[in-house]
Amino acid sequence: MVNFRYISLFSGAGGLSEGFIKAGFKPVCHVETDRGACFTLKTRIAYHYLKETNQFDKYIEYLKGSLSRPELYNLVPAELLETVINLPIGSKFNRQIHKQIHQKLNNRAVDLIIGGPPCQAYSLVGRARSSDGMESDSRNYLYVHYAKYLERYQPKFFVFENVIGLKSAKGGRYLSNMKNLFKKKGYNTELFILEANNFGVLQKRKRIIIIGKKEGLKIEIPDFELVKSPQKFEVDNIFSDLPELKAGEGINKFLTYKKNTNDYLENASIRNGIDVLTQHIARPHTLQDKKIYKIAVKKWNKNKTRLNYKDLPNELKTHNNENSFLDRFKVVASNEPYSHTVVAHIAKDGHYYIHPDIKQNRSITVREAARLQSFPDDYYFEGVRECANRTAAFTQIGNAVPPLMAYEIATLIKKKICQKN
C-alpha cells in the first residue's frame, strides 16, 4: 500500500490533517505556532500510534484520566512526537523549521503540502472590527512563505484552505497576487467554494479551497464542487445521545453516554466504538444570560425566528448599541439539516451557540462544538497546561477544517494520483 506523504502548515488542531490520515496519507511534520494546539496534535499522534500498535487501551486510560499527559507521551516514540514543530512560519524561524523537516524526510519526496494561514486577516468580520481593515496585519502575507515551502519541497499538489473573505480582501488583490505567486513557483491552481454540509458535516460552513498542481503533472484536479452528499439527518443527531447538562455541569474525562449511538454518528465515525465521553462540560452562565437564552429558544422552537437584540426587555439589555450584531444570541437549530457556522469566537462566550433544549438552558459544550465540526469523540483537545482548557479547545475547534470534509477532499486527490500511477 502506498502512503503518500505530506507536510501540514498552519496545522491548528489538525482537522485537515485528520482527514488526510484517514484517507491513507502519512504526515511528515505538522507546523503550528499555538502551543496548546501542538499538544492536541501530539495527543492525536499518540492516538494513532497506540491504535496501530495494539495498545489502544492505554489511550482509553488517558481519556478516563488514569494516565497523565507525560505518561501518555512516554508510550510514543520521541521521533513521532517531534514531528510536531511548535514554531511560527516566517523569516525568523523558517530555517529552523526546514532543518527539522529535513531530518524527518530522510531524502524522500513530499507528495502534498496542506494547510492555510490564519484567516482573521481575510475574514469579513475581522476587517470590520479592525481600524484599518486589517491592512497592516502581517498575516495578510503569510501566503508568501507558503509559496516558499512549495518552492523548496516541490510537492505534486497543495491544498490551501481559507475563508470566503479572501476573495474580496483588498478588492481581490490578495487572491490575485497569491495565484500569480503560486504560478511563478510552478503551480497551476483551481479555486473551489465548498459547503461543509455537502460533505456530510451538519454545519453550514462555506470555505475557499485552492488546489495547486505542479506544472507538467498530468493528473486532473477533481471538481470538488460536484460533491453533493445527500443530507438526510438533522442537527439533533449531534445532541441526542449526550447526557443532559445545566449551566456549569459536566465532567472533563470519562463521562458516559446517555444512550446508544445513531446512524449519523456512526456514518460520520463520530461515535467510533469507544464508550468514553470527554470534554462535555457546560459553561456557567449568569442569571441574566439564562433568561435571554430561554427567550431565544422559545422564539426558535415556536416560529423558527431568531432573537433580535432590540426585542429584549430593557432590563435584559446590557449596552446601548442597537445598530450592529443584533443576532448575538443565537440558538443552534436542532431541527435543521445543518447548524450555523462554528467560529473561534465561541471561545469568548456561548451566546451565539445556545443549546436548543430549553430545559438545559446553556450554551453548547466543547464536545458538542467538536461534533458540529465532525471531529470524532476520541479526539481530545489540549491546552498548554495538562488540565482542561475550555478556551483553547473552543478556539482550536472554531478555526479547524471539518475532518469529514477533509477526508472527502483527500480521498478524491488520492484517487487521481493512484489512477496516474
For the chain, how many structural domains are there in total?
1
Q: What is the CA radius of gyration of the chain?
A: 22
Distance CA 369, CA 41 (A): 18
Mean pLDDT of 250-260: 91
> Band of the pLDDT at 420, cuts 50, 70, 90?
low
Report pLDDT for 122.
56
Instruction: Kindly state whether residue 317 falls inside one of the protein's structural domains.
Output: no
Instruction: Kindly state whether residue 272 falls inside one of the protein's structural domains.
Output: no
Active site residue 38: no
Name the grid cell of 141.
502575507
> Band of the pLDDT at 183, cuts 50, 70, 90?
very high
Residue 263: how many other CB atoms lie within 10 Å = 10
Residue 379 has pLDDT above 90, yes or no: yes
How many distinct helices (H) and strands (E) make up the chain?
15, 9
Instruction: Kindly state whether residue 108 falls inside one of the protein's structural domains.
Output: yes
Instruction: Kindly state whether residue 321 falls inside one of the protein's structural domains.
Output: no
Query: What DSSP character marks residue 248?
Result: T
pLDDT exceeding 90 applies to what percent of the chain? Answer: 78
Distance CA 20, CA 149 (A): 19
Q: What is the pTM for the complete model shown? A: 0.93
Mean pLDDT of 333-348: 94
Mean pLDDT score of the chain: 91
Residue 89 has pLDDT above 90, yes or no: yes
Query: What DSSP character marks residue 350?
Result: S
Instruction: Kindly state whether residue 342 falls inside one of the protein's structural domains.
Output: no
Mean pLDDT of 76-105: 96
Query: Which of residues 194 and 107 earns the better pLDDT score?
Result: 194
Instruction: Kindly state whether residue 249 falls inside one of the protein's structural domains.
Output: no
Q: Which tens digit of pLDDT belongs to each residue from 1-20?
A: 467 999 999 999 999 999 99
Instruction: Kindly state whether residue 74 falls inside one of the protein's structural domains.
Output: yes
CB of 334 closer than 8 Å to CB of 353: no
Q: Which of 29, 38, 119, 418 is catalytic?
A: 119
Name the residue with cell 475547534.
397
Structural domain of residue 131, as residue ranges?
Answer: 5-228+401-420
- What is the domain-level CATH number for residue 31? 3.40.50.150
Nearest to 200 by CA among 23, 373, 400: 373
Instruction: Kindly state whether residue 309 falls inside one of the protein's structural domains.
Output: no
Distance CA 266, CA 270 (A): 6
